Chains A and B, each alone.
Chain A
């Protein structure tokens, strides 16, 4: 009797915790859409998405410059972060001697543990003046924000990629080496292609972090609502817009910020769908096995 009761409680308890996260995310989505809806209704969805002017005090709520801002910062950060982190992951998973890995792993984990406000402050004090002196302008720019984001997403991409590379079955490697391939040929032609689904997941996770990063970007991006003409121009990201103005917003302005959150949410959903598609597709194509 006692045992059965215990089983029952544990089972139901686990079920509740599992369902809890789903309920929370549904509630959040419902709330964001409900609060953001009035802006789409009153200002027009297309006006909101493609509007070039953001001036809440004049009743202008166009977020297009920020969509571009978010995308540009993220893409630039990925261009810098992806090669760096994948090569680093290959080194850690395949080449580095165990002692080296023992040092590298905790160092990279520390990088992930640094709070974003610290990155932002470092950027403001060190990087912004550096960029201003080296490249001119104000120093608050897309480039500065991307450099900070690159450093922030490195640990995410590296650690997930390392796991992906390590989970390639040892038989693949052994077979390749037994056929006389060199280590580099093995990595290039066998291990890396087999690990690609995992590596894509890693990149998407990094991208998600870059799109969602707020505080560090606010501090170094300059937050100007304009389409950047070059990577030295200041930009405003969607997340920054919400965080900057949330403290004051009332009425339609408040709804407009939730509208911004809806746009952000849709962007991340699209990214996730693309990621899952590639993950699935590559998984079937490669190896023909159980990867």
Chain B
């Protein structure tokens, strides 16, 4: 007897769950798909979460894939909003409307015991490409430079490659690969001879941020553009934004939305 009751309950639960799922898809609500940069993803998710709380009839789905995926999906219209954490090239931006929602600085970080506190972009390039291998070549102590990088595909890495390394130069092959900003920070923190790059949003006291061209990375220097190693966070829409998508983007660019950008430790666009 007991087993039958239990089986009955299980069957009932399955039927109810199935019904809920089947009916859930059919209701009248607007859906926004956001696809693209994995660097933009966290802030986009946070924005979507707050927005959905305020507008229960809007459903926002945020996915990663990378900036190039964001650009293609916006162009082809497979996503309502494509996101990119790099400037668009001329041939990419055709037919797209760009909305800059935030800016992010990329900090070149070294151990706090390191005597070097400023580098030129060329020196950074030399270090990461393997042409400069000793700290004394850039004015530090006589010790080998341990380069720490991120995995292929990481948004921070591709932005760093694009801004600092340029098209032809590659990050050297035997650089230590760490899987997250936190891991890079940890690696730099415990090795006096290490160098790595992290997002300004994740900078704290545990590592030393290098001046690039004499400019210290900070919210102020990223905003006024004097700190050069920075990237925009873009929302891309095919043609002009309409309806629910436009309302969402307007809200993101409004003070309320920019406040959330700030709480994610990014530099607001305006």
Q: Size class of B's contact patch?
A: 20 to 34
A2 — nearest CB in chain B belongs to which residue?
A: B1
Pick out which of these stretches binds chain B: A23-31, A36-44, A241-249: A241-249
Give, as a whole number of angstroms, the nearest-CB distance from A134 to chain B.
14
From the candidates B7, B158, B175, name the one contacting A224 in the complex (CB within 8 A). Answer: B175
A-contacting residues, B154-172, CB 8 Å: 154, 158
Q: Are B152 and A56 in contact (CB under 8 A)?
A: yes
Question: Are B38's CB and A248's CB within 8 A?
Answer: yes
> Do residues B7 and A248 form an inter-chain contact, with CB atoms below 8 A?
no
CA distance in complex: A226, B177 (Å): 12
Does B140 have its Cβ within 8 Å of any Cβ on chain A? Answer: no
Residue A230 CB within 8 A of the other chain: no
| Interface contact B3-A249, CB-CB below 8 Å | no
Question: Does A129 lie within 8 Å of B176, measured CB to CB?
Answer: no
A104 within 8 A of B: no
Q: Is A125 an interface residue (CB 8 A)?
A: yes
The total of Cβ contacts below 8 Å across the A-B interface reads: 77
**Which partner residue on chain A sits nearest B178 by CB separation?**
A223
B3 and A244 contact, CB distance less than 8 A: no
Could you tell me the distance between the alpha carbons of A244 and B194 in the complex, rounded to whole angstroms? 21
- Does B146 touch A at the CB level, under 8 Å? yes
| Cβ contact within 8 Å between B151 and A245 | yes
A54: shortest Cβ distance to chain B, in Å? 8
Q: Which residue of B lies closest to A53 (CB)?
A: B173
Interface residues of B in 187-227 (CB under 8 A from A): 187, 190-191, 194
A128-B153 in contact (CB<8A): no
| Interface pair A10/B153, CB less than 8 Å apart | no
Of B13-21, B62-70, B130-138, B229-237, the stretch lying at the interface with chain A is B62-70
Tell me the A88-147 residues at the B interface (CB within 8 Å).
Answer: 124-125, 128-129, 132, 138-140
A219 CB-CB contact with B under 8 Å = yes
In the complex, the answer to whether B64 meets A234 with C-beta atoms within 8 Å is no
Q: Which residues of A contact B93 (CB under 8 A)?
A: none
Query: How far, in whole Å, are A247 and B177 apart by their CA atoms in the complex?
Result: 15
Residue A17 interfacial (CB < 8 Å): no
Considering the chains assembled together, what is the distance between the CA atoms of A140 and B175 in angstroms? 11
CB-defined contacts of A171 to chain B, threshold 8 Å: none
Chain A: minimal CB distance from B199 (Å): 16
Judging by beta carbons under 8 Å apart, are B187 and A140 in contact? yes
| Residue of A124, A125, A250 touching B69 (CB-CB under 8 A) | A250
* Bound CA–CA A132/B65 (angstroms): 36
The answer, among A2, A138, A244, for a CB contact under 8 Å with B151, is A244
Residues of A within 8 A of B177 (CB): 222-224, 236, 244
A214-237 Cβ-contact flags toward B at 8 Å (1 or 0): 000011001111100000001010
Tell whether, in the assembled complex, residue B174 and residue A224 are in contact, meaning their CB atoms are under 8 Å apart: yes
Q: B176 touching A138 by the CB < 8 A rule?
A: yes
Q: Residues 58-98 of chain B: 1 if any A CB is under 8 Å from the residue's CB, otherwise 0?
A: 00000011100100000000000000000000000000000
Beta-carbon nearest neighbor of A215 in chain B: B179
Asked whether A245 and B187 contact (CB < 8 A) given A138-B176, A138-B194, the answer is no
* A55 CA to B69 CA, complexed, in Å: 18
Chain B hits for A234, CB < 8 A: 174, 176
Q: Does B263 contact A (CB under 8 A)?
A: no
A226 in contact with B173 (CB, 8 Å)? yes
In the complex, A9 has a CB within 8 A of chain B:
yes
From 24 to 65 in chain B, residues with beta carbon under 8 angstroms from any chain A beta carbon are 38, 64-65
Known: A138-B191, A223-B179, A248-B153. A10 touches B3 (CB 8 A): yes
> A248 and B174: CB pair below 8 A?
no
For residue B115, CB closer than 8 A to chain A, the reply is no
Bound: A263/B154 CA distance, A: 24
* Contact of B3 with A6 in the complex, beta carbons under 8 Å: yes
Contact, CB under 8 Å: B65 / A250: yes
Could you tell me the distance in whole angstroms from the C-beta of B35 to the nearest C-beta in chain A?
Answer: 10
Query: Who on chain B is nearest to A246 by CB?
Result: B153
Q: Given A247-B38, A249-B153 in contact, is the A224-B173 Cβ separation under 8 Å? A: yes
State whether A219 touches B183 (Cβ < 8 A).
Answer: yes
Residues in chain A within 8 A of chain B (CB atoms): 2, 6, 9-10, 55-57, 124-125, 128-129, 132, 138-140, 218-219, 222-226, 234, 236, 243-245, 247-250, 253
28 A-B contact pairs sorted by A residue (CB < 8 Å): A9-B3, A9-B4, A55-B152, A56-B153, A57-B152, A129-B190, A132-B191, A138-B146, A138-B176, A139-B190, A140-B176, A218-B179, A222-B177, A223-B176, A223-B179, A224-B174, A224-B176, A234-B176, A244-B152, A244-B177, A245-B153, A248-B38, A248-B64, A248-B66, A248-B154, A250-B65, A250-B66, A250-B69
- 4 smallest beta-carbon distances between A and B, as pairs: A248-B153, A223-B177, A244-B151, A222-B176
